Amino acid sequence: MFARRAAWDLSRNPLSLAVEARRARGAEVVDLTDANPTRAGLLAGGEALARALAEVARDTAVRRYEPDPRGPRAAREAIARYHARGGREIDPERVVLTAGTSEGYAHLFRLLADPGQRVLVPRPGYPLFDFLAGLEGVETRSYPLVRRGGGFRIELDALAREAADPRVRALLAVHAHNPTGAFVHVDDAHALRALCREHGLALVSDEVFAESALEPAAEEERLASLLDPRDDAPLHFVLSGASKLLALPQLKLSWIVVAGAPALRDEAAARLEAIADTYLSVSPVLAACLPALLEARPAIEAQLRTRVRANRDELAKQVAATPCAELLPVEAGFAAILELGDPDGTAPDEEALALACVERAGVLAHPGFFFDFEDDGRARLVVSLLAEPEPFAAAARALLAVAAEACAS
Ligand SMILES: Cc1ncc(COP(=O)(O)O)c(C=O)c1O
């Protein structure tokens, strides 16, 4: 009856069943996988949105519908100003708004790959890529991010082997990466562009976490964006959006910036406009809020950074007192990765550990396999750092106690 692209296994996984069973007994489960800032008291974005909506409501222009497939010009100009940092010039004509980043990916897969063709995605990574590509009939192939020095880096040799496959049409990079919090380093960015040029691939950089560095850094130290203003750059699409950048998932507003060699990028922007025109999914009323919201970005970011730093510091303190646990270093993002196991290499089973955390501590964390971490015998739990500090500290304590017991047994 149903198409193969929709033939998912919809049965509940053991972890969600355990959460449901515990809640059915009336016991609490603290959800440390929740990455929704609006449920964690992070409301600077929401307050800016309320002000922007009030302003938009006073504008008589909202009474008419004058659709522009790329999104309203004023919103695209504000996005171009945001991306112009570091001396880049962005033409608002090369900005296309979408209803969320997921829709941005869908548009790009439609634009770049025919059914059966491939896109390269980082592993570990954001588990939605397989679904987004699969719904467009496109296959994903992964390239590894490996732990090196103070964080995760792209395994360039493995990536180069995958990129040489003629079925591959695009290379996706996440800057900063979720959940490892790693930025694409300057020399790796050069290597990605060189691979794209060599094999005629498009570069797609997901930069929704670009402003989430724990420590702000100058552009010379780390790239603010993978956008390369030079005209001989490969075809490049930058994705960003309100859900992470402005802590406003409820706005459902994201965008694609098209860059690269002029002839190709202008044609790509025109074709992307035709795709967007087919759906016209972005509300011009909500898009009208964007200029004011991007102005409010510094205050929103400051609130996010303060919260993430406080929870990370608390977690680091607790982990330091837990013999079998390590908190992996990150440059950015809203997640923390805990590695659990003895120095001699024995580690608890990841799924059993995550289940024990729900059943015995009432705390839900993502097991590492959810993000497709390499199966190297280590156990990993990934937690969101957005929760309110007090419940976060208590949940982390309970989770680490269960982990310490699991390591000892
Ligand atoms: C890598 C990455 N990109 C984008 C998003 C956000 O997508 P959306 O704008 O559809 O909420 C997420 C959310 O977790 C993510 O991890």
Of 35, 89, 81, give the one whose Cα is nearest residue 292.
81
Residue ranges for the chain with pLDDT beneath 70:
218-220
- Residue 405: burial class (beta carbons within 10 Å; 0-12, 13-18, 19+): middle
Question: Are the C-beta atoms of 128 and 112 separated by less than 8 Å?
Answer: no
Give the distance (Å) from ligand 1 centre to CA of residue 122.
14
Cβ–ligand 1 distance for 318 under 6 Å, the answer no
Give the distance (Å) from ligand 1 centre to CA of residue 265.
24
Cβ contacts of residue 70 below 8 Å, gap of 6+? 76, 93, 95, 96, 97, 269, 273, 276
**pLDDT at residue number 219:** 64
Cβ–ligand 1 distance for 174 under 6 Å, the answer yes
161, amino acid identity: R
Question: Are the C-beta atoms of 223 and 211 separated by less than 8 Å?
Answer: no
Kindly report the protein residue whose alpha carbon is nearest to atom 7 of ligand 1: 101
Cβ–ligand 1 distance for 104 under 6 Å, the answer no
DSSP letter (8 states) at residue 213: B
Cβ–ligand 1 distance for 181 under 6 Å, the answer no
Of 128, 94, 135, 42, give the one whose Cα is nearest residue 334.
42
Kindly report the protein residue whose alpha carbon is nearest to atom 4 of ligand 1: 101
Give the distance (Å) from ligand 1 centre to CA of residue 347.
31
Give the distance (Å) from ligand 1 centre to CA of residue 132.
12
- Residue 45: burial class (beta carbons within 10 Å; 0-12, 13-18, 19+): buried
Coil, helix or strand for 98?
strand
Question: Are the C-beta atoms of 134 and 109 separated by less than 8 Å?
Answer: no
CB atoms within 10 A of CB 302: 11
Cβ–ligand 1 distance for 180 under 6 Å, the answer no
Mutate to test the pocket of ligand 1, among 102, 128, 304 (most ligand atoms within 8 A of CB): 128
Spatial distance between the Cα atoms of 58 and 406, rounded to a whole number of angstroms: 59
Atom of ligand 1 nearest to the CA of 104: 10
**pLDDT at residue number 239:** 98
**pLDDT at residue number 149:** 80
Give the distance (Å) from ligand 1 centre to CA of residue 251.
13
Give the distance (Å) from ligand 1 centre to CA of residue 241.
8
Mutate to test the pocket of ligand 1, among 33, 174, 207, 208 (most ligand atoms within 8 A of CB): 208
Cβ–ligand 1 distance for 102 under 6 Å, the answer yes
Give the distance (Å) from ligand 1 centre to CA of residue 98.
13
Of 126, 85, 80, give the one whose Cα is nearest residue 225.
85
Of 287, 298, 211, 296, give the one whose Cα is nearest residue 252.
287
**pLDDT at residue number 331:** 94
Give the distance (Å) from ligand 1 centre to CA of residue 239.
10
**pLDDT at residue number 220:** 66
Mutate to test the pocket of ligand 1, among 126, 238, 382 (most ligand atoms within 8 A of CB): 126
